[in-house]
Structure 1
Amino acid sequence: MTDEFDVDRWRADLEAKREEKDQFFADHPQSPIPPGERDAFDGLEYFDPDPDYRVTATVAVHDDPEPVPMDTTSGREVRYVRVATLEFDLERDDPDLEDGAFEIHAYQQERPEEEPYFVPFRDKTTGQQSYEGGRYMELEADRDLETGDEIVLDFNLAYTPFCAYSETFDCPLPPEENWLEVAIAAGERVE
Structure 2
Amino acid sequence: MVMDEKQWETWHAGHERRLADPHGFLAITSLNFLTAEPQRFPDAPGSWSTGPDGVTVDLADGETLTVRGQTVTGLHHFGPLAERSGVDAVAGDAVIEIARRGGFDIVRPRHPENPLRTQFRGVPAYEPTEKWQITGRYVAFDQPRDVTVGAAVEGLEHVYESPGRVEFEAGGVPLALTVFNGSTPGSLFALFTDKTSGVTTYAANRSLTIDAPAADGSVVLDFNRATNLVCAYTDFATCPLPPAENRLPVAVEAGEKIPYERLAA
**Which TM class, normalised by the smaller chain length?**
0.7 to 0.9
Quick one: distance in 1 between partners of 2:23 and 2:204? Answer: 21
CA distance 1:116–1:59, change in 2 (3 Å): closer
Match of 1:129, SS? coil
State the match for 1:31 in structure 2.
24
Give 1:157 deviation, angstroms: 0.8
Name the counterpart of 2:141: 62
- Aligned counterpart, 2:218: 150
User: Contact (CA 8 Å) 2:196, 2:253: kept in 1 or not?
Assistant: yes
C-alpha contact 1:61 1:145 (8 A) present in aligned 2: no
Partners of 1:88 and 1:25 lie apart in 2 by 30
Q: Tell me the number of residue pairs that the alignment of Structure 1 and Structure 2 aligns.
A: 172
Gap change, CA 1:113 and 1:140, over 3 Å in 2:
closer
Rounded to whole Å, the distance in 1 between the matches of 2:145 and 2:15 is 33
Give runs of aligned pairs for residues 19-168 of structure 1, distance below 5 A: 19-26=13-20, 28-34=21-27, 35-74=114-153, 75-91=155-171, 99-108=172-181, 114=185, 116-141=187-212, 148-168=216-236
Q: Give the number of the structure whose residues are more often strand, by fraction.
A: 2
1:14 aligns to what? 8
1:170 deviates by 0.5
Deviations, residues 35-82 of structure 1 (Å, cap 9, x unaligned):
213332221010111111110001111121222101111131111122
Answer 1 or 2: higher relative contact order, Cα 8 Å, separation at least 6: 1
CA distance in 2, matches of 1:134, 1:125: 11
Instruction: Return the structure number with greater helix share.
Output: 1
Q: Tell me the amino acid that sits aligned with residue 136 of structure 1.
A: S
Aligned to 2:89: none
Task: State, as a whole percentage, how many aligned pairs show the same letter.
Answer: 27
Deviations 1:99-127 (A, max 9, x none): 32211111239xx8837322000100111
Q: Contact 1:90/1:101 (CA < 8 Å) preserved in 2?
A: yes
| TM-score normalised over the length of structure 2 | 0.60
Letter in 2 for 1:169: A
| Structure 2: gaps of 5 or more residues | 28-113, 261-265
Runs of 4 or more above 6 Å deviation: none
Give the letter for the 1:37 counterpart.
Answer: L
- Inter-partner Cα distance in structure 2 for 1:43 and 1:181: 28
CA distance, structure 2, for counterparts of residue 113 and residue 54 of structure 1: 21
2:135 counterpart letter in structure 1: T
Paired AA for residue 134 in structure 2: V
171-180 vs 70-79, which moves further: 70-79
Q: Would the alpha carbon gap of residues 81 and 145 (structure 1) be closer, same or farther in structure 2, given more than 3 Å must change?
A: farther
Task: Give the greater-gyration-radius structure (CA).
Answer: 2
8 Å CA contact retained: 2:211, 2:219? no
| Contact residue 2 and residue 130 of structure 2 kept, 8 A | no
TM-score by length of 1: 0.81
* 1:180 paired to 2:248: yes
